[in-house]
Structure 1
Amino acid sequence: MADQHLDNLRTIVGGSNMLLGTDAATFESDYRQVFHGKSLAVVRPGNTDEVSAVMRYCYTNGISVVPQGGNTSLLGGSVPDATGASIVISLARLNQIRAIDPMNATMTVSAGVTLSQARGAAESVGALFPLRIGSEGSCQIGGNLSTNAGGTAVLRYGNMRDLVLGLEVVLPDGRIWNGLRGLRKDNAGYDLKHLFIGSEGTLGIITAAVLKLFPIPRTVSSAFLGTHSPEDALAIFKRIRERLGTDVSAFELISSDAMALVLSHLNDRPSPLETPHPWYVLVETSSNADQEDAEAQLVSVLSDALSAGHATDAVIAANARQAADFWTIREEISDAQTQARGSVRCDISVPLSSIPDFIRDTTAKVLTREPATRMIVYGHVGDGNVHFNPLRPADVAAQTFVQTHGAAISQIIDDAASELNGSISAEHGVGIAKRDELLTVRSREELEMAWAVKRALDPLNLLNPGKVLPVLPD
């Protein structure tokens, strides 16, 4: 029967767009090679109608489906399970820029468009699509939407949920919902797009979106700072935010261990600052002021931070190339961990005021288990998001460290975030890795409501089964 299913699906997408066996292998594991599965086949439709036809066939025949974008998920959300009974639907061929409306400041794109392509298309008409994450060359807009991606510009522009006006979605039974409305005001009933944003492909397959565009700032200034502690970093942030307001587009914190790791990963690149510091901050401001005026404002506020003792050193990028070098350091931390292997990756958010306590107390608990652990702590501290990723000691094998300490360290970190009224997943989603933990951090009522939505839209539980929603105990 499986062969018949494959033959029927092949007639929908064409023989060259059905991948089996070794050809499907790269779609069956995540890019970090942490999560592995097996698919019946990888199907690569070329347009929304083909996605609809594939989904309708699978619904009729009870075949489960795993939607996949760029497969850059860190929590296993885009990987099939080990049964080999699911098909993976890759959206990569849905890579069209459908329309750009400069007057309405919107762009309509298909789900397989990469983030870098979307940003380039916006720039071609003198506009900005502000989502910015390290994997922008491979992650796709559909995946960004399904995980409600955040990144380094959330402080000014918001998460992906804030950057979209309309969606086109293929429902589990194959019907197409066309909600591609580029309206900023629309109170005609429920705003259904928000059901699908952040649902990780469990409720429908996003095939296109209307994205918001913004003016390109006339000036962008970046600065790298040294500081004593997270408390001092927050004092700097408070000072900059009060003085510059929404011109602050990014405020990133980096621990000394994270800095050492990434500089080594970048072929021993020198630090932007001449001497080492316990903590580092990367600040970006953007505005429509003249470059000279914008930099004068930044110099003034950083001078005050230095005088107050909150910052211990600072350098402002002299040109775009140096600013890009600053951002390379920040954005390569994730890949540096992947190459080093043996990190426990946790993505939490807490109220800004709780960040110092969280980092201090959780670091102490982790180091009690293994004193030589390297504390790779970094993230978008301006919006309360900390990537807290303890890394194995240099002389301990990756597998040994993760097997011995991984689960316990992850629990320590997530418990600490929950105790501070935070979240165990700020921007990476839930996938498989955090699914069952929702039983302890979400109320029964909340999970029952989520399951009610799932059953209403996907009564056969065919879309990305086993992801996001834990099985509720009787």
Structure 2
Amino acid sequence: MPDTPVSPTLLDRLSAILGPRGLLTDPADIAPHLTDWRGLYQGASPAVARPASTEEVAAVVRLCAETRTPLVPQGGNTSMVGGAVPDESGRHLVLALTRMNRIREIDTADMTMTVEAGLVLKAAQDAAAEAGCLFPLSLGAEGTATIGGVLSTNAGGNTTVRYGNARELMLGLEAVLPDGSVWNGLRRLRKDNTGYALRHLLVGAEGTLGVVTAAVLRLFPRPRDAAVAFCAVADEDAALALFRRFRDRDDSAVRAFEYMSGTGVDLAVKHIEGVALPLESRADHYVLVDLASSRPDAGLRDMAEAVLAEAMEAGEVADAAIAANEAQAQKIWRIREEHPEAQKREGASVKNDVSVPVSKVPEMIRRCSAALAALIPGSRPVPFGHIGDGNIHMNLEQPEGMDPAAFLARSHDIMDCVNAVVRDLGGSFSAEHGIGRLKTDMMEAWRGGPELAAMQAIKRALDPHGIMNPGKVLP
């Protein structure tokens, strides 16, 4: 990777390309781009480039390739692993794509939407809804995260069990490669078997192989019937058993299925105004069931009541509440969505975004919770997440009264503790958050050998000067 400072001449050339609105050099303007949402990293940069078109992105990348200037692509800067912030050297240029936020086309016959990378995810959802369609990708940061970011990290979110990750929701891409050339792969084809799928190489690469500038996204028929339930379940096994009941009744209706521990729900109720438990009494384990169908006569509420009655008779569900309207459904979802913020307000926490085969989720939660409690006595495991696709956020909250810095100093011990269980169960140390800067040291142990060697060879081939998001993904 290059190790030379950014020269004033380079900044002048960037200013000439981008115009007065396209280059930030005032430290106050740059500051929000230099730290991540979790506050794990504080970087430095002399400037933030803000191109307004693909042509401007290409011109910036060509200039950086010519001068060997490292670039850090940035969308909504909501990475959980430090994937979108520069390092502390001050030698990296931030490339923020938020000005590129146009919806280029919506085609309701093809059921596609072509959008620019800086479009906020919530705006994409709203535009699809206005067209009478659904763009189903949904996650907690959807009011800030951008399309380019969720594709570059192959974001998952709440509806993966039904619709898949970001990769499955993308048909085509436009991107600027590390030499500044523009690849236009904005194809709306469901079938295109023409050699290597470059679009899938860029999705999940976290900006290390190029800059996504636009995408063709898949749309779906909008739901015309829905039901959301919040349930107290007996234990982790009962949570999985309930998922199987709903899946067996109508697999296509299960839009989301989320697990929450009693501790996590307690923190949400404690710290987030407006969050309340919709059940009569507290439990140690909960699930959120979200059903949806494009058929107006799907009878999903009746289905939910029937399945929950069966589960209650079997001793799996102790209590449940089904939302009577959209407002109540949103209140139920807030309990789940506010978990990260509630943990942040409670004190220091270490995040573990892991996945195992769905059948192994109960065992993983139990074993990890026991191991973490033994590792740091008094600490509070807060597992929650997408039990329907095997992805649980196996987080750990600091012991009450412990110095936050001392707790966070044990972060890698905590991650190693969780990962030992996850590896034993055939899982992954990164389910949906990616590698970023936080987990590069784990790649050798988990993906070493031919797999990692192939990744490094691809990186060298496409980015021989190492200017694209250096220090991320690869060790």
**1:53 and 2:59 correspond:** yes
Alignment of 1:80-159 (within 5 A): 80-159=86-165
Measured after TM superposition, the shift of residue 34 of structure 1 is 1.4
Match of 1:217 in 2: 223
Q: Secondary structure at the match of 1:148?
A: coil
Alignment of 1:461-472 (within 5 A): 461-470=466-475
Match of 2:18 in 1: 13
Measured after TM superposition, the shift of residue 291 of structure 1 is 5.7
Measured after TM superposition, the shift of residue 160 of structure 1 is 0.2
1:440 counterpart (436, 445, 464): 445
Tell me how far apart the structure 2 counterparts of residues 221 and 426 of structure 1 sit (CA, whole Å): 27
Match of 1:319 in 2: 325
**1:423 and 2:428 correspond:** yes
Match of 1:402 in 2: 408
Measured after TM superposition, the shift of residue 399 of structure 1 is 1.4
Tell me how far apart the structure 2 counterparts of residues 373 and 268 of structure 1 sit (CA, whole Å): 27
Once the two structures are superposed, residues 287-332 of structure 1 have per-residue CA deviations (whole angstroms, 9 ceiling, x without a partner) of 1344672211111111101110011111110111000000111111
Once the two structures are superposed, residues 383-442 of structure 1 have per-residue CA deviations (whole angstroms, 9 ceiling, x without a partner) of 000001010122223212222x32211110112111111000000000011111111111
Measured after TM superposition, the shift of residue 137 of structure 1 is 0.7
Tell me how far apart the structure 2 counterparts of residues 340 and 304 of structure 1 sit (CA, whole Å): 37
Once the two structures are superposed, residues 2-55 of structure 1 have per-residue CA deviations (whole angstroms, 9 ceiling, x without a partner) of 111100011011123211223211101112221111113111000000000000
2:392 counterpart (375, 386, 392): 386
2:151·2:167 contact (CA, 8 Å) conserved in 1? Answer: yes
**1:3 and 2:1 correspond:** no
Once the two structures are superposed, residues 119-143 of structure 1 have per-residue CA deviations (whole angstroms, 9 ceiling, x without a partner) of 0110111000000001111100000
Runs (5+) with no aligned partner, structure 1: none
Tell me the amino acid that sits aligned with residue 63 of structure 1. Answer: T
Match of 2:246 in 1: 240
TM norm structure 1: 0.97
Distance 1:260 1:291, change over 3 A: farther
Match of 1:331 in 2: 337
Tell me the amino acid that sits aligned with residue 286 of structure 2. Answer: Y
Equivalent residue pairs, number: 469
Percent identity of paired positions between Structure 1 and Structure 2: 46
Match of 2:355 in 1: 349
Measured after TM superposition, the shift of residue 268 of structure 1 is 7.0
2:24·2:47 contact (CA, 8 Å) conserved in 1? Answer: yes
Tell me the amino acid that sits aligned with residue 346 of structure 1. Answer: N
Match of 2:271 in 1: 265
**1:163 and 2:169 correspond:** yes
Tell me how far apart the structure 1 counterparts of residues 283 and 45 of structure 2 sit (CA, whole Å): 48
Runs (5+) with no aligned partner, structure 2: 1-5
Match of 1:451 in 2: 456
Once the two structures are superposed, residues 57-92 of structure 1 have per-residue CA deviations (whole angstroms, 9 ceiling, x without a partner) of 000111010000000001010000111111000000
Match of 2:69 in 1: 63
Measured after TM superposition, the shift of residue 250 of structure 1 is 0.6
Tell me the amino acid that sits aligned with residue 130 of structure 2. Answer: S
Tell me how far apart the structure 2 counterparts of residues 269 and 84 of structure 1 sit (CA, whole Å): 42
Q: Secondary structure at the match of 1:337?
A: helix
Tell me the amino acid that sits aligned with residue 104 of structure 1. Answer: D
Q: Secondary structure at the match of 1:220?
A: strand
State which drifts further: 89-98 or 185-194.
Answer: 185-194
Tell me how far apart the structure 1 counterparts of residues 92 and 471 of structure 2 sit (CA, whole Å): 12
Match of 1:33 in 2: 39
Alignment of 1:179-328 (within 5 A): 179-267=185-273, 269-290=275-296, 293-328=299-334
Tell me how far apart the structure 1 counterparts of residues 428 and 310 of structure 2 sit (CA, whole Å): 33
